[in-house]
Structure 1
């Protein structure tokens, strides 16, 4: 059995940085894969007082060398000797990988940032693939949740190895990781980390929405897990929802409304708002909310400018100079503002015309039904936004739900009152 090419004393006295130590050849390339010897050597290194980040670099370098699934596809870190070249059966190779992963999880330092999050995600993917025990998997999930803000989208795309799951990606795993991250203490979970995780989740949703087998409940569960203040903008969430609606064309109207409730129209950028107003896959209610929020944004700068000027004149505040817009930018803003205002005016005119038609129908109904004994049901009041949805989606006011024009028993009562039998006196 070959020995390791470096001793613990030389590791301690080495002045190199952790990044350089990971690149250096810590072990001889010709050494055999002996996990017991590696664990004993690592315990001796820990006893010498080596920093946890150096211990983590030793583990990641050793694991990437002997198991290519744990490497980051860097050809410099690939080793000529690995599990694939061993002349063994598939079952023995599978069991050896499982033992290898479980041993790595057991010797990881307890500190938080000693091992990169992407390496932990690759280790978690391999652990799920080879079917490690539940305790090792939970330990890896806990460690990944500590550093979820440092993860990359590529490493989060873990496939589903379960035959009972219909989706291509392990959607439930990502949901558990996000929930674990949100349950961390505020001292561990900062606001910047929360924003990074929100962007990562939106990108993951946009990629997972392509899967036709992804259910609506799973999508809403992951998208609605994050609090509202985690997203500085909802453009990523809007893109994910639009992709989901494009792939899942059989989504009902109520399900579309439940999806659009996740979007805060006030957090959409101008480009996303223009795209949303022209998106035929969105319900009418969501489009109107986007239009009104944009109309509010257009009127807000003038109010803020007037209030700021009055405050500055009273308190003599220094005005921060702003960058002057070019003529092209000014023309683009003016044309966009004009289009939004024309769209709002058009919708208001359409709403007013539909309301006038409804009022005329109401007057006709009141003049037609004059009989108090016929039992005509009272017309239900309906809101303004329902009127717009019924008129735009139904193609007219005729689809608005009124009660029946005549009661069902009118004909019976009229026939009964008109054909009352008159009995003649008996001749006998």
Structure 2
């Protein structure tokens, strides 16, 4: 009787109060799923707000599926009930599949009517009991609408497929991200993009621990986020460093491919300091980080120095110049920055010297492999005068000063020209 009175009040007002909703929750004890669907349809016909219908569905769905509850206690009770249930595992899973498909069918079509975390828990259960692909696609579409509201805990859906070797369903998250990126700009704002980028970086850091995670999957998910969506690349750098630590056998070209995802200009000073001493990164990536930090410090020094001259900051602002920094650096801070710049330059020079030494060793090894008779052309010297001599080889003209390199044939030719009799060459074993 009380429930009928509440429905009549919904008819007249159209917007029930929170007190009325709580009374409905306390009064209704729905044990049959068919009756629940009929009741929800009646409430929809009364013109009730979608948010209230969504709260009703999320409240009562945990009575049939404890997996959908946000409380760990309810989830533990549900698992215990399944273990103690006299029904077979197959019958229990068939019932769960029926409940999930029914709940998906009664969800309000509006965007924010149901919380995103509830939809993710529903999707996890749907993947576990292997619902029909149409219901799963509907859930993925609805989650992509509000992916920026998801939490990392709910996004870490296990992989229930036997063909997938990873613990987490990375392909599912990649589909959700691609669906979100393909949304219209009315559904996807700039702030939402930044939240999703941060969420994906945190997810990658957790998934990178799995030794079975393929490099192509990691790069596909990390590269799906546009570069402008990340305000900082610290989270991405943490995920890549975790992946390299968990996969020590990654080849050098693959390490370079991973490091190309990072924009060294968007790293914080703490992340740059860690990357500069990280032996898991390629040398080229470390040099780029050092150059980026040096450029940042030089820019900061130039900016602070531009307001320390004869012109006052207020004059520069009135003339249309840039705004000054929050405060001018002290002399001690300037000296500390100059020492840091000097240290960075020394590190860069040391790395360049090591690279040159390695390149020289490689060239010497290649020369030994070619042999000493690998010239393209061998030319005889052409003499100009007694002081400067040049000869042409296969690569160009080379000049010698102060001496002439003589061979037996050239020496005999010079003596014949001067009218002298050439001496007979004797055979020698030396």
TM category (shorter chain) comes to: 0.7 to 0.9
> Which of residues 37, 40, 53 in structure 2 aligns to 1:39?
37
Residue deviations 1:398-426, cap 9 Å, x none? 1237451334799xxxxxxxxxxxxxxxx
C-alpha distance in 2 between matches for 1:407 and 1:116: 77
C-alpha distance in 1 between matches for 2:222 and 2:39: 45
Residue deviations 1:64-109, cap 9 Å, x none? 2321100101658998999736542222211111000000000101
C-alpha distance in 2 between matches for 1:208 and 1:269: 23
Residue 203 of structure 1 pairs with residue 206 of structure 2: no
> Which of residues 399, 419, 422 in structure 1 aligns to 2:362?
399
**Alignment of structure 1 residues 136-155 onto 2, 5 Å:** 136-155=135-154
Contact 2:116 2:143 in 1 (8 A): yes
| 1:323 CA displacement | 5.0
- Return 5+ residue gaps in structure 1 as ranges: 352-387, 411-428
C-alpha distance in 2 between matches for 1:22 and 1:246: 52
**Alignment of structure 1 residues 237-256 onto 2, 5 Å:** 237-256=236-255
Which one has a bigger Cα radius of gyration? Answer: 2
**Alignment of structure 1 residues 262-301 onto 2, 5 Å:** 262-301=261-300
C-alpha distance in 2 between matches for 1:25 and 1:156: 32
- Name the CA shift for 1:117/1:326 in 2 (closer, same or farther; >3 Å): farther
Give the paired residue count. Answer: 365
- Name the CA shift for 1:171/1:80 in 2 (closer, same or farther; >3 Å): closer
Q: Which residue of 1 aligns with 2:348?
A: 344
| 1:16 CA displacement | 3.4
- Return 5+ residue gaps in structure 2 as ranges: 377-430
Q: Which residue of 2 aligns with 1:135?
A: 134
C-alpha distance in 1 between matches for 2:317 and 2:239: 47
| 1:307 CA displacement | 5.3
State the Cα RMSD in Å. 3.4
C-alpha distance in 2 between matches for 1:322 and 1:100: 58
Q: Which residue of 2 aligns with 1:218?
A: 217
C-alpha distance in 2 between matches for 1:83 and 1:220: 41
Greater relative contact order (CA < 8 Å, ≥ 6 in sequence): 1
Residue deviations 1:284-318, cap 9 Å, x none? 01001111111111111233345567685466369
- Name the CA shift for 1:321/1:238 in 2 (closer, same or farther; >3 Å): closer
C-alpha distance in 2 between matches for 1:333 and 1:212: 41
C-alpha distance in 2 between matches for 1:314 and 1:146: 46
C-alpha distance in 1 between matches for 2:324 and 2:20: 49
Residue deviations 1:215-250, cap 9 Å, x none? 100000100111110101100000000000001000
- Name the CA shift for 1:233/1:167 in 2 (closer, same or farther; >3 Å): same
| 1:177 CA displacement | 0.4
Taking structure 1 as the reference length, the TM-score comes to: 0.76
Contact 2:158 2:168 in 1 (8 A): yes
C-alpha distance in 2 between matches for 1:15 and 1:100: 27
Q: Which residue of 2 aligns with 1:363?
A: none
Contact 2:6 2:24 in 1 (8 A): no
C-alpha distance in 2 between matches for 1:194 and 1:127: 27
- Name the CA shift for 1:409/1:274 in 2 (closer, same or farther; >3 Å): closer
**Alignment of structure 1 residues 11-410 onto 2, 5 Å:** 16-17=17-18, 26=25, 31=29, 33-73=31-71, 84=82, 87-305=86-304, 313=315, 316=318, 322-323=326-327, 336-347=340-351, 350=353, 388=355, 391=357, 394=358, 397-400=360-363, 402=366, 404-407=370-373
Residue deviations 1:177-232, cap 9 Å, x none? 00000001112100000000000000000000000000100000100111110101
C-alpha distance in 1 between matches for 2:340 and 2:122: 50
Contact 1:69 1:122 in 2 (8 A): yes
Taking structure 2 as the reference length, the TM-score comes to: 0.76
